[in-house]
Amino acid sequence: MLRYLRLALLGFCLSTSAAQATPRFLLGESVTHTNDIIGDGKDRWRTATVDISYFFGPAAETLPGRFGPFIELRARLEMINPEFVALPYPPNDRPYAGVLSFGIASHMRQQNTEHSLGFDLVMVGPSTGVSSLQNWVHTFQNPINPQIIQDQLPDAIYPTLSYEFAKVYGAGTTALRPFADLQIGVETFARAGFDLTFARAPEQGFRVRNSLTGQRVPALNPKGTRQLSLGVGADIAYVFSSAYLPATSGVAPRPFRTRLRAGAFYQSRKFDLFYGATWLSPEFTTQREGQIIGAFSLGVRF
C-alpha cells in the first residue's frame, strides 16, 4: 500500500507541474512512521500512522513569501484501535477506524512568520483497506478479534481544511516557535503551543509537522552538511467535534487535548535520522490514561 500512496502522489505532482506557468521541481520526499510500539510499547488507541509527503516548488533553499510556489502533496494512513484488539469489544472504548487521506498544502514565510494552508480528503471505513492490512499484520502475532473489524466506523469521506500560523524567534543555535492552528473537517479543533529547538548550528532546511504527534519532522535539508539538534514542544487543543468519536459509538470526546513531545535529529552527508516521543492526553472520557507515541523518519542520500 505504501508503494501505491507514493505513485498517486508522484502522479499528482507531475500533473500539477505541467499546469503551472512557473517551473516547479520535485525537491524531496519525507516518510514518517509513528507507532506506540516504539513509544510506550503497547498497541492501542492512536496506534500507528504512515505519512508520506512530496515537496514541489522552485529550486530554492528558503520558503517563498507567498502561497502557491511551494506545495506539499501528502498521503496518510492511520490505524485507530480500542485498547485491546484481541479481546471482545468493550462497551466503553473507542471504535476501530481505518483512515486514509490525500491532500495538498502550501507553505510560505515572511520574515520570521510562517504560514501553512492545507486541504485533505480524509476517507474512513473498511473500503480504505486499512483494517484488512492491519488484520493481515496481526495474523502473525496477537490476532485481532473479528468483532473489532466488523464494528468499525462505516465508510465516509471528510473534506478537511487546516491552517497553521507560527512566529520564529532565533538566538544563534536556539529557536523558539510559538504557533496556533485550526482544523475543520474530520476533527474540528483550535490549537496553540510552542516548539523549542537546540542545535549545534543555526537550523536550516524545512520541517513539516506530523499531524498526530505534533513533531516537526525534518523534510528538506541542505546536502553535504552535518547537523545535530534537539527539540521539545507542547500544545493544547480545544476539540469541537470528532468523526472518530461519533455519538453512536457510546463514548464522548474530551473537549481538551494536550501533547508533550521531545525529539532528536541527526543529519550527516549520507543520511538524515529523526526520532521523537510524544505523550498524548486521553481523547475520550472513558480512556483511562494517556499514551506515548514514537515517531521515526530516515532519509538516505544517493
CA angle 249, 254, 257 (to 5 degrees): 130
Whether residue 16 is predicted with pLDDT greater than 70 in this model: the reply is: no
- Separation CA 3–CA 267 (nearest Å): 25
Q: DSSP class of residue 172?
A: T
Q: Sorting pLDDT into bands at 50, 70 and 90, what band is 139?
A: confident
Whether residue 299 is predicted with pLDDT greater than 80 in this model: the reply is: no
Strands 156-167 and 113-124, sheet pairing:
antiparallel
Q: In this predicted structure, what is the pLDDT of residue 28?
A: 83
Q: Is 242 left (phi over 0), alpha (psi -120 to 50) or beta?
A: beta
Phi, psi at 18, each rounded to 5°: -65, -25
| Average confidence (pLDDT) over 176-188 | 97
**Listed range (37-41, 116-120, 201-205, 296-300) with the worst mean pLDDT:** 201-205
- Separation CA 129–CA 57 (nearest Å): 32
| Average confidence (pLDDT) over 175-195 | 97
Is pTM, for the whole model, over 0.75?
yes
Q: Sorting pLDDT into bands at 50, 70 and 90, what band is 165?
A: very high
Q: Sorting pLDDT into bands at 50, 70 and 90, what band is 178?
A: very high
| Average confidence (pLDDT) over 28-36 | 92
Domain 2-300 has CATH 3.30.565.10: no
**Residues 208-251 pLDDT 10s:** 999 999 999 988 876 666 788 899 999 999 999 999 999 998 89
Neighbours of 114 (CB within 10 A): 19
Output the average pLDDT for the chain.
Answer: 87
Which amino acid is present at 268?
S
Q: What are the boundaries of each domain within the chain?
A: 2-300
**Residues 246-286 pLDDT 10s:** 999 889 999 999 999 999 998 877 778 899 999 999 999 99
